[in-house]
Structure 1
Amino acid sequence: MDDRIARTRLQDMLAKIERSIGVLRGDPVALRERSAADAGADLTDTDRHQAMLDVASKQRVAVIAALKRLEEGAYGRCLDCGKLVPEGRLEARPEAARCVQCQSKIERRR
C-alpha cells in the first residue's frame, strides 16, 4: 500500500475512533432520575458502554502504532517475523501489525 494512502486511511480511522470515544465518554444519565426498575438496565447499559469504549481505545492504540511504524519506515512489515504483510490485509486492516500467520498464533494463545 502506498504510504500516502496508508497515512490518509489511518488518520481518517483515528479521527473516527476519537469521535466515538468522545461520544462514549459523555456524561451518563444521573441515576437518581431513573426508576428502581431501570437499575438492572443501567448495569447492562454501563457494561455494554464500557466494552465499546475499551474496544475503541484498543483500536486507537493500534492506529497510532501503525502511524508510528509508517513514520519509522516499518509499516507493512510483520512485527514478529519481519515479512511483508499482504497488501489485501493492509487494505482490510490498515492498522495491522502482523501477517496473518503470526496474528493467528497470537490469537490461538488467547
Structure 2
Amino acid sequence: MNDTTARMRLESMLAELDRSIGVLRGDPLAVWDRSPADGGSVLTDADRNRAMLEAATQQRRSVLEALKRLDDGLYGLCADCGGPVPEGRLEARPEAARCVQCQSRRERRR
C-alpha cells in the first residue's frame, strides 16, 4: 500500500473512530426511559458501552501512532524487529505496527 492510500485510510478510520467515541461518550443510562425492573440490563448496557469505548479509544491511539510512523517514514516496518509488515496485513489492518510473527509473540506474552 502506498503512503497516500495508507494516509487516506488511516484518516478515514480516525474520523470514524472519533464519531463512534463521541456517540459512546453519551450517557447510556439516559438513552431510554426504562422501568426499575430493567436495572440489570441498564448496567449490562453501561458495561458494554464502557468496553466499546475503551476498545475504540485504543484503536484510535493505534491509528494516531500509524500516522506518526507514516510521517516519520517508518510506516510498514515492524516496530519490534524492523522488518517489513506484510502488505496483506497492512491492507487488513492499516494501523498494524508489527509483522505477524512479532505480533503473535507480543500477544503470547500478555
TM-score by length of 1: 0.94
Q: How does 1:1-110 map to 2 (within 5 A)?
A: 1-30=1-30, 33-110=33-110
How far apart in 2 are the matches of 1:11 and 1:50? 24
Q: Deviations over 1:15-54 (max 9, x none)?
A: 00110000111133349x5322111111100000001001
How far apart in 2 are the matches of 1:34 and 1:93? 39
Letter in 1 for 2:100: V
How far apart in 2 are the matches of 1:53 and 1:45? 12
Percent identity (aligned): 67
Which runs of at least 4 in structure 1 moved beyond 4 Å after TM superposition? Answer: none
Letter in 1 for 2:54: D
How far apart in 1 are the matches of 2:39 and 2:82? 51
Shift of 1:109: 1.1
Superposed CA RMSD: 1.3
Structure 1 unmatched runs, 5+:
none
Report how many residues are paired: 109
Structure 2 unmatched runs, 5+:
none
TM-score by length of 2: 0.94
Contact 2:17 2:60 in 1 (8 A): yes
Letter in 1 for 2:24: L
How far apart in 2 are the matches of 1:108 and 1:65? 22
